[in-house]
C-alpha cells in the first residue's frame, strides 16, 4: 500500500539554486532597492571577517550565481568580476582579528554586514541577511534568511564578493609571511596551519587569539599536533 503524500510543506523549501523571487516580491510591494548581505571568514583561526552588500540590477543578473561554497575558485573569480560590472551598488567591510577577539565572531560578523550596508552608494529599502540574525543598527528594515545564499541571488552575490575579497586578502598575507601558508588554507585550522602556529606562535593582529587552540594554551596545541608516543 502506497504511503499517502503529506499535505504539509517543508519547513525550509530551498531551491536547487538561488533565484530572484524574494527580491521581485519586494520590488512589487515597493520595498526597493533590495540589498543582499553575507560574510566570509567566521571559522578561521586567522584573518579578518569580510562582509559584502550587493544590490543587483534586476535586468542584468549574472548567470550562475550560487552559494560561494558551491562554486570553484575560477567560477567565483569570474562571477566576482561580473557582479562588479553589472550590480547597481556593491560595498565591502572587514573587521580584523583583533576586533574579533574584542567583541566575538558573531558580533563582528553582524557589525561587518551593518557597515557594508551603510557603505552602499544606493540607499536600500530592504536588506536580506544570510543566517538567523538580522544585524543590529541597519539603515533599513532587514530580514534574516537561513541558507540565504542558496535562496536569494542578492545574498549569493554578496557571498561571492565577500569570499573572493577575503581569499585575496589572505593570499597577500601569505606573501607577507610565508611560514604559515595562508594562501593555501586562508587561515583555517588545517594541519599545516596548526603546525606552523606551534612552531612560530601566533602573529599579532593576524591570528584570533580568542579562538582555540590559542585560548587552550600552546602546550595543548603542541600535544594535539605532535602527540606523545605510546609507552
Q: Which of 171, 179, 170 is nearest to 197 (CA)?
A: 179
Q: Which domains does the chain have, with CATH numbers?
A: 21-174 (3.30.420.10), 177-225 (no CATH)
Residues with Cβ within 8 Å of residue 148, at least 6 apart in sequence: 36, 38, 128, 129, 130, 131, 155
Mean pLDDT is lowest, of 6-15, 80-89, 97-106, 171-180, for 6-15
Q: What's this model's pTM, rounded to 2 decimal places?
A: 0.88
Q: Give tens-digit pLDDT for 27-54.
A: 999 999 999 999 999 999 999 999 999 9
Q: For the chain, what's the residue count?
A: 231
- Reading the block at residue 88, the C-alpha cell is 547597481
How many whole angstroms separate alpha carbon 19 and alpha carbon 149? 10
Q: Which of 120, 18, 25, 122 is nearest to 63 (CA)?
A: 18
Q: Give tens-digit pLDDT for 168-220.
A: 999 999 999 999 999 999 999 999 999 999 999 999 999 999 997 787 654 44
The DSSP secondary-structure symbol of 14 reads -
Amino acid at each position: 500500500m502506497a504511503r499517502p503524500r503529506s499535505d504539509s510543506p517543508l519547513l525550509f523549501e530551498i531551491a536547487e539554486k538561488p533565484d530572484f523571487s524574494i527580491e521581485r516580491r519586494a520590488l512589487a510591494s515597493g520595498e526597493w532597492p533590495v540589498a543582499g548581505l553575507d560574510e566570509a571568514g567566521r571559522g578561521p583561526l586567522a584573518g579578518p571577517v569580510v562582509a559584502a552588500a550587493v544590490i543587483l540590477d534586476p535586468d542584468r543578473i549574472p548567470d550562475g550565481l550560487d552559494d560561494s561554497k558551491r562554486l570553484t575558485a575560477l567560477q567565483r573569480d569570474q562571477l566576482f568580476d561580473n557582479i562588479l560590472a553589472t550590480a547597481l551598488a556593491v560595498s565591502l567591510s572587514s573587521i580584523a582579528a583583533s576586533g574579533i577577539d574584542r567583541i566575538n565572531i558573531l558580533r563582528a560578523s553582524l557589525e561587518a554586514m551593518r557597515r557594508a550596508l551603510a557603505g552602499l552608494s544606493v540607499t536600500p529599502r530592504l536588506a536580506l541577511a544570510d543566517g538567523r540574525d538580522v544585524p543590529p543598527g541597519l539603515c533599513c528594515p532587514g530580514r534574516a534568511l537561513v541558507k540565504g545564499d542558496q535562496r536569494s541571488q542578492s545574498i549569493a552575490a554578496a557571498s561571492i564578493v565577500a569570499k573572493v575579497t577575503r581569499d585575496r586578502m589572505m593570499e597577500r598575507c601569505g606573501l607577507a609571511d610565508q611560514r604559515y601558508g595562508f594562501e593555501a588554507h586562508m587561515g583555517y585550522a588545517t594541519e599545516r596551519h596548526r603546525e606552523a602556529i606551534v612552531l612560530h606562535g601566533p602573529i599579532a593582529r593576524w591570528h584570533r587569539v580568542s579562538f582555540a587552540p590559542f585560548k587552550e594554551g600552546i602546550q595543548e596545541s603542541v600535544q594535539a599536533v605532535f602527540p606523545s608516543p605510546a609507552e
